[in-house]
Amino acid sequence: MSIQAQLKKYELPPLPYKTTDLEPYIKGEIVDVHYNGHHKGYVNASNTYVERLEKVIKGEVTSYDIQGLMRMLVFNINGHKLHSLYWNNMAPQGKGGGKPGGKLADLIEKQYGNFDNFKKIFTETANSLPGTGWTVLYYDYENGNLQLMTFENHFQNHIAELPIVLILDEFEHAYYLQYKNKRADYVGAWWNVVNWDDAEKKLQKFVK
Ligand SMILES: [Fe+2]
């Protein structure tokens, strides 16, 4: 058996603003540790576990725990992809917050009546998440609807390339240095840095 393929590595995408640009809503220290520590860690670990799987595929290692390997692959690759969406979904102070426009505003109005009701339901959903995870709004190709959903940890319900429009990280590393155990305060503050242009851009990519 000869397998020649050299797999391309995962890479940490650039942060689209300075680490302090989301202040006062999200402290620079949080963004620094979150991006340079956690996200970078997911990228590095993704490459490590992909390499390990490659060795298994090529028969270079014969003793391995495939279940444990898959668990680490899913955790790290999904972690990398979800964070890549999260960073772009926020904008520096003065450019974020407010309300969406375009197609996203139309769909929100159709499904939620108005933006304030959407914000209320999204916030309730985010605050209901037990432990760590994500709250997302994604575009469902099957019926053309926006769908609200929570993911526990990086594992459950998540398909890495799900058409996510809006995403909120609710791991403690996303808020604890500033908000401690008051996660709902972080969720409330996050609305001030939502990048609606990015959310609209994401949606436009999915809608055919
Ligand atoms: Fe995170």
Q: Is residue 147 part of a domain?
A: yes
Distance 139 CA to ligand 1 centre (A): 22
CA of 69 to the centre of ligand 1 (A): 21
3-state secondary structure of 181: coil
Question: pTM score, two decimals?
Answer: 0.94
Measured in Å, residue 137 CA sits from the centre of ligand 1 at 17
Ligand 1 centre from 7 Cα, in Å?
A: 26
Cα of 173 from ligand 1 centre, angstroms: 6
Tokens of 28: 């620079």
Summarize pLDDT for 153-165 with one digit per residue, the tens: 866 655 667 899 9
Tens of pLDDT along 45-81? 999 999 999 999 999 999 999 999 999 998 999 999 9
**Rounded to the nearest whole angstrom, what is the distance from the C-alpha of residue 59 to the centroid of ligand 1?**
34
Phi, psi of 195 (to 5 degrees): -95, 95
Residue 13 lies in a domain: no
What pLDDT shows up at residue 92? Answer: 95
Ligand 1 midpoint to CA 18 (Å): 17
> Cα–Cα distance between 138 and 165 in angstroms, integer?
5
- pLDDT reported for residue 67: 94
Ligand 1 geometric centre to CA of 125 (Å): 18
CATH of the domain at 70: 3.55.40.20
| Residue 70: CB atoms within 10 Å | 12
Instruction: Calculate helix-pair angle for 183-190, 115-128, nearest 10 degrees.
Output: 150
**What pLDDT shows up at residue 68?**
94
Distance of CA 71 to the CA centre of its chain: 18
Domain contains 94? yes
> Does some domain include residue 15?
no
Ligand 1 ion: nearby residues, β-carbon < 5 Å = 169, 171, 174
Residue 5 lies in a domain: no
Q: Can you give the pLDDT at residue 157?
A: 53
Is 4 inside a domain boundary?
A: no
CA 45 and chain centroid, separation: 17
pLDDT at 155: 65
Q: Distance between CA 187 and CA 191 in Å, rounded?
A: 7
Gap from CA of 15 to ligand 1 centroid (Å): 13
Residue at 130 is within a domain: yes
Write out the residue range of the structural domain in which residue 31 sits.
26-208
Q: Which helix (H) or strand (E) holds 152?
A: strand 145-152
Domain count, the chain: 1
Task: For residue 193, tell me if it sits in a domain.
Answer: yes
Classify 86 as helix, strand or coil. Answer: helix
Residue 13 CA to ligand 1 center (angstroms) comes to 14
Distance 153 CA to ligand 1 centre (A): 10
pLDDT along the chain (208 residues), means of 10: 79 98 98 98 97 94 94 92 96 94 98 98 97 94 94 68 93 98 98 98 94
